[in-house]
Amino acid sequence: MARPTPLSSLVVVVGLGALPCCIPDPNGSDGPSLDEEAAEGEGEGEGEGEGEGEGVLKNYVAGCTVDALNPTLPGEAGFLALETFAAPSSSFTVGGVRYALVNDGVQCDATLAHEVFVFVFPGTDPPTSPSTNAQSIGAALVPADPARTEGVLSLTVALSEPYVLTPGERLGVAVRLNDDDNGHSLCLGMCVQDVRRDVSFWSNAAGEPYAWEDLVGGFSLGNLLIEATAP
């Protein structure tokens, strides 16, 4: 994996919905369904607190420095980056997911088409084969969009049906870091301060079985700017 790209001019993150340089959401708070194979840019959000804040699950901390998680090309093209979330002590209704993409003018190109996968699994370790050892609750092909040129921007996708995450279950949100023929790839925003182990993972493969490795414990990197949001 390539070392992350520092984004020194974009260091303040309040919440994915309030990322600097975000694309305003022309449709307000109603995101498209994952089953519709589309995603929209997300505008100003509520700025919820980290962890189990109201209406959101996330692992990164507010105000952190943002780096870009990028694959080493060509060998890591199509690898997955995964963020996982434990259910709160009661339960949490997942209505959708929100994540940050990065443009750096060198390798990172947020305009590329890519896939998002949302699944539920027991325990703490992500399954090596989610297609058979996890419950899929959403998958989407996010189309290419030449308008996604901001330095850091957030996209949101909605589940076709909300899912109630209960104690003992863990939610996984994976994004495939596709590339093109010109040395560019999709890159995810990543928080590199006050990081948490065992929640952010790299697939080490483009297809199953994945060899998940902790981005913090294995690579000394950070937590992905990914959120699970309530309906």
Helix (H, G, I), strand (E, B) or coil at 35: helix
Q: Which pLDDT belongs to residue 53?
A: 52
Q: Write the pLDDT tens digit of every residue in 178-227.
A: 999 999 999 999 999 999 999 999 999 999 999 999 999 999 999 999 99
Exposed, middle or buried: residue 104 (CB in 10 Å: 0-12, 13-18, 19+)?
middle
Contact 188, 103 (CB under 8 A): no
Q: Write the pLDDT tens digit of every residue in 46-96.
A: 333 335 556 899 999 888 888 999 999 999 999 999 999 999 888 999 999
Q: Which pLDDT belongs to residue 162?
A: 95
Give the residue with greater pLDDT, 29 vs 193: 193
Contact 79, 69 (CB under 8 A): no
164: left (phi over 0), alpha (psi -120 to 50) or beta: beta
Going from the C-alpha of 169 to that of each of 81, 107, 131, 158, 164, the distances in angstroms are 20, 36, 16, 20, 10
Q: Using the structure block, give the residue that is written with the tokens 């870091």.
A: 177
